[in-house]
Amino acid sequence: MNTETQDKINLIKPHRIKGILNLALILAIIFGSAWFAGFNVIEVIINIYRGASLLDRMFLPPDFSYTPRIMGPLLETIQMAIVGTFIGAIIAIPVSLFAADNFIKNKWLNIPTRFILNIFRTIPALVLASLFVSIFGVGNFPGILALAIFTFGLISKLTYESIEAIDYGQVEAMISVGGTKMTILRYSIIPQVLPQYLSYTLYAFEVNVRAAAVLGYVGAGGIGQIYEYNLAWLRYSRVGMIIIISFLMVLIIDLISSSIRRRLV
């Protein structure tokens, strides 16, 4: 028997039992979660007619005459997103430097900073808005604070990860000629990280526009406030118009922001 024949005989087919067991485990988790959460496909099918009837009252046709009343809260929503994003992005700059272990090599500073960022990132903006409404009262200010904190956590994490991924050869070259921390920051880190930082800021603004549109539901101002009001009074044609205007606003902002981000990175 030649060598080629022996090699063919000794080949063993891949064992698929492990893959099947993994698939079964994933399906068990999905269906188990659906069962514990009370998800019922039959209920969805039964209530399709009711959902279609609601969509008919909302969009066929929407209340176009209500559009001028939407413009003011819509502008408030955009303003909240702009201010919240700006505040959060500015605060994120020094914090991301403290978290990056290749710029400030001090684990007693890096680890606590990252831990704090993880805490801020785990709290949804809607929960923060509810908390601030109970402290400061109804209005735009609680919504701006909630968006600022959310933006701070998001951009800080993404930025410090970008700092740690820079070409460290430039930093070493500056250290070898006696460069200070500020010199390294100005001439090595900022030029490499700035495009990503601006891209993250624009992305956070996109997210904040969507979030600000619903923060009014808990009294934090914006278009969500009139949405909640009209929904409570069952004025579905007005609710449909609010949804259409909100969709167009988010779509336009996403298109503009995505175009700018593609040019930055």
Query: What ranges do the domains of the chain cover?
Result: 16-58, 63-264
Q: What is the pLDDT of residue 264?
A: 66
Please provide residue 196's backbone torsions phi and psi, each rounded to the nearest 5 degrees: -65, -40
Cα–Cα distance measured from residue 185 to residue 192, given in angstroms and rounded to the nearest whole number = 10
- Of 65-74, 137-146, 180-189, the poorest mean pLDDT is in 180-189
- Does pLDDT of 87 surpass 90? yes
Cα maximum dimension of the chain: 89
Residues 224 and 57: their CA atoms lie apart, in Å, by 19
If you average pLDDT over residues 241-254, what whole number do you get? 84
What was the pLDDT predicted at 23? 84
The pLDDT score that the predictor gives to residue 250 is 82
Question: Taking residues 65-83, what's their average pLDDT?
Answer: 86
Alpha helices in 123-189 (DSSP H): 125-136, 140-164, 168-176, 181-184
pTM, 2 dp: 0.77
| Closest alpha carbon to 212 in 112, 74, 107, 94 | 74
Model pLDDT, residue 90: 92
Condensed to tens digits (0 to 9), the pLDDT of residues 43-70 reads 777 777 777 777 777 778 777 888 888 8
Distance of CA 126 to the CA centre of its chain: 12
Which of the two residues, 73 and 87, has the higher pLDDT score?
A: 87
208 CB contacts (<8 Å, ≥6 apart)? 80, 81, 84, 85, 125, 147, 150, 151
Q: What superfamily does domain 63-264 belong to in CATH?
A: MetI-like (1.10.3720.10)
Lowest mean pLDDT among 33-42, 66-75, 167-176, 225-234: 167-176
Mean pLDDT for the chain overall: 80
Asked if 115 and 176 touch (Cβ cutoff 8 Å), the reply is no
Residue 263, pLDDT above cutoff 90: no
Give the tens place of pLDDT for each residue, 153-186. 889 888 888 888 877 777 777 777 776 777 777 7
Residue 66's CB is within 10 A of a number of other CB atoms, namely 18
Amino acid at 64: F
